[in-house]
């Protein structure tokens, strides 16, 4: 059951990323909960709510072109109606090669999973460091 949910969540994310990589942010917006909290490295306060996120995503429409990408080491932690998907994401495209740490928290309502929290951040390619 949990494995089936994990497969389902990864497939949702994969499909949304496929559209994202062709400049179409609607794949993500269609599976985004109105209540989303969104973090990426460029938004000082994060983005709160789907309407605000849609306004941000509109600025990317037709701008992104990912030639090749990969979801690495995906992990899905399921508890009740929440699934926490984490993965490393590598993409090659319009912005060169990027490596990300990604968190996507999905919540189920009825039979439908929606993202209530997204956190993208730039990942180390190698090396060590520390948090202070």
Binding site for a copy of itself (CB under 8 A): 35, 37, 39-46, 48, 59-60, 63-64, 66, 73, 75, 77, 79-82, 84, 86, 88, 91, 93-95, 98-99, 101, 103, 105, 107, 116-117, 119-132
Closest CA to 106 of 17, 8, 40: 8
Strand segments (E) across the chain = 32-39, 47-48, 66-79, 82-93, 96-109, 112-122
Q: What is the DSSP secondary structure assignment for residue 124, as one 8-state letter?
A: P
CB–CB of 86/67 below 8 Å? no
Strand partners, 68: 92
Measured from the CB atom, is 4 or 130 closer to a copy of itself? 130
Measured from the CB atom, is 12 or 85 closer to a copy of itself? 85
β 32-39/112-122 pair status: parallel
């Amino acid at each position: 059951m949990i494995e089936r949910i994990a497969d389902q969540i990864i497939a949702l994310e994969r499909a949304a990323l496929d559209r994202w990589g062709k400049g179409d942010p609607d794949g993500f917006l269609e599976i985004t909960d109105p209540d989303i909290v969104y973090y990426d490295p460029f938004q000082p306060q994060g983005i709160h709510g789907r309407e605000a996120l849609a306004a941000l995503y509109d600025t990317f429409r037709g701008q992104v072109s990912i030639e090749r990408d990969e979801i690495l080491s995906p992990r899905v932690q399921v508890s009740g109606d929440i699934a926490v998907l984490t993965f490393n994401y590598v993409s090659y495209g319009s912005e060169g090669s990027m490596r990300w740490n990604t968190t996507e928290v999905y919540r189920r309502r009825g039979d439908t999973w929606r993202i209530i929290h997204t956190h993208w951040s730039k990942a180390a390619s190698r090396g060590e460091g520390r948090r202070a």
